[in-house]
């Protein structure tokens, strides 16, 4: 009786896993289709180029930071351009980088704010609050320090912001990595996060706003409470987007992506960043995050195969092929370099590890500091 019952249970579990794997394969096909359809359209030239202030909060030594700041200074832009950087410590290595960029970019006004004041749990927002008084222009572009942009980035933002009803512009981003761990981090963006966002946009289920770039007018920012309103939020970019939409503004998302330079140099750094991102997404969209495992059909096809399901092996092959096709679709849509495909199985294992860990505990690591994430999305610094 027991043997028969165990056999029935194994068959039931195998069948359920086969069904989940089949749904996951269908999802990958849908994601590939929507990603190809999302291919970048013709970029519009801005009708006018108002004076612009680019705000880049900095913290610590970052590889190739100088090149990214120079790219912001070398914009093909017809209006006056100001770059505002900020750190909390005069001994921060980024200070020397900013001075070097300023010496090489004499045609761009570059201001540096050194201010240790903290206005809440989010150190990035505190930095921006300290920097904001130096910004001279009405047109503001807040860009993370790990983002590499092209020469037309600012003019494209200005063009999008001219559209009726648009209160802000945000940008999709793809990952770029150079070592093993940073390549895995980039793969997590390009093979998972980015296409999932595109599916959400295609189905009308996503309302994103990304810190990679948020461009808006100063008066619009003030209308939603200014930067101080987000000083304790972990997912400050998402909350800014929700406040803007709640105030009646639309958020434009151009059909191109900027490069997020992944800097994870160790397995520990990779896992910490992945867990922080996972817990952030889970807090923003708990149901969507819980269902995100369906985008990894191999996780179901493998147990279906081990339990002797008749469809296990074909589904596993389809799952692997679907993941590869999705990567190729993302490459084509955003003109990316060839991905490190041999890392895909390792990324799927990493995803399962992080996915499970994200449901237990509320601690996160961010820029070398430990925080506890409260149920309302605010941050509380943990004592060391």
Supply the pLDDT for residue 1: 42
What percent of the chain is predicted at pLDDT more than 90? 63
What does the block give as tokens for 166?
């648009």
The whole-model pTM stands at 0.89
Query: Is residue 261 helix, strand or coil?
Result: strand
Per-residue 3-state assignment (H helix, E strand, C coil) for 138-204: CEEEEECCCEECCCCHHHHHHHHHCCCCEEEEECEEEEECCCHHHHHHHHHHHHHHHHHHHHHHHCC
Tens digit of pLDDT for each residue in 323-338?
999 999 999 999 898 8
Q: List, in order of start, the domains of the chain with CATH numbers.
A: 2-39+291-381 (no CATH), 52-269 (3.90.550.10)
Select from 31, 33, 35 the least CA-distant residue to 292: 31
Positions in the chain whose pLDDT score sits under 70:
1-7, 39-47, 308-310, 367-368, 376-377, 379-384
Note the Cα 156 to chain centre separation in Å: 20
């Amino acid at each position: 009786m027991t043997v028969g019952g165990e056999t029935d249970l194994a068959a039931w579990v195998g069948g359920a896993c086969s069904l989940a794997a089949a749904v996951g394969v269908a999802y990958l096909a849908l994601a590939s289709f929507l990603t190809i359809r999302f291919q970048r359209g013709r970029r519009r030239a801005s009708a006018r180029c108002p004076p612009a202030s680019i705000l880049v909060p900095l913290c610590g030594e970052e590889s190739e930071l100088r090149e990214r700041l120079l790219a912001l200074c070398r914009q093909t832009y017809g209006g006056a351009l100001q770059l505002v950087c900020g750190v909390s410590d005069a001994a921060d290595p980024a200070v020397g980088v900013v001075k070097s960029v300023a010496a090489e970019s004499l045609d761009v006004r570059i201001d540096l704010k050194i201010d240790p004041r903290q206005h809440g749990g989010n150190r990035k927002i505190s930095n921006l609050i300290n920097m904001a008084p130096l910004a001279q222009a009405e047109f503001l572009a807040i860009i993370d320090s790990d983002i590499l942009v092209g020469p037309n980035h600012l003019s494209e933002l200005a063009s999008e912001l001219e559209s009726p009803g648009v209160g802000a512009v945000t940008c999709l981003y793809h990952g770029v990595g150079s070592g093993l761990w940073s390549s895995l981090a980039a793969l997590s963006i390009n093979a998972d996060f980015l296409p999932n966002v595109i599916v959400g946009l295609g189905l009308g289920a996503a309302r994103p706003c990304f810190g990679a770039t948020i461009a808006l007018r100063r008066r619009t920012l003030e209308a939603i409470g200014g930067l101080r309103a987000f000083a304790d939020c972990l997912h400050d970019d998402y909350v800014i987007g929700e406040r803007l939409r709640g105030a009646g503004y639309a958020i434009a998302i151009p059909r191109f992506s900027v490069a997020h330079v992944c800097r994870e140099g160790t397995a520990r750094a990779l896992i910490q960043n992945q867990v922080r991102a996972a817990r952030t997404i889970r807090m923003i969209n708990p149901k969507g995050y819980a269902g995100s495992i369906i985008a990894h059909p191999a996780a179901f096809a493998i147990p279906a195969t081990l339990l002797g399901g008749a469809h296990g092996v074909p589904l596993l092959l389809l799952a692997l092929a679907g993941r590869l096709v999705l990567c190729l679709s993302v490459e084509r849509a955003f003109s990316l370099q060839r991905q490190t495909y041999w890392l895909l199985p390792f990324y799927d294992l990493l995803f399962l590890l992080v996915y499970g860990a994200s449901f237990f505990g509320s601690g996160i690591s961010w820029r070398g500091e430990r925080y506890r994430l409260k149920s309302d999305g605010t941050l509380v610094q943990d004592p060391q």
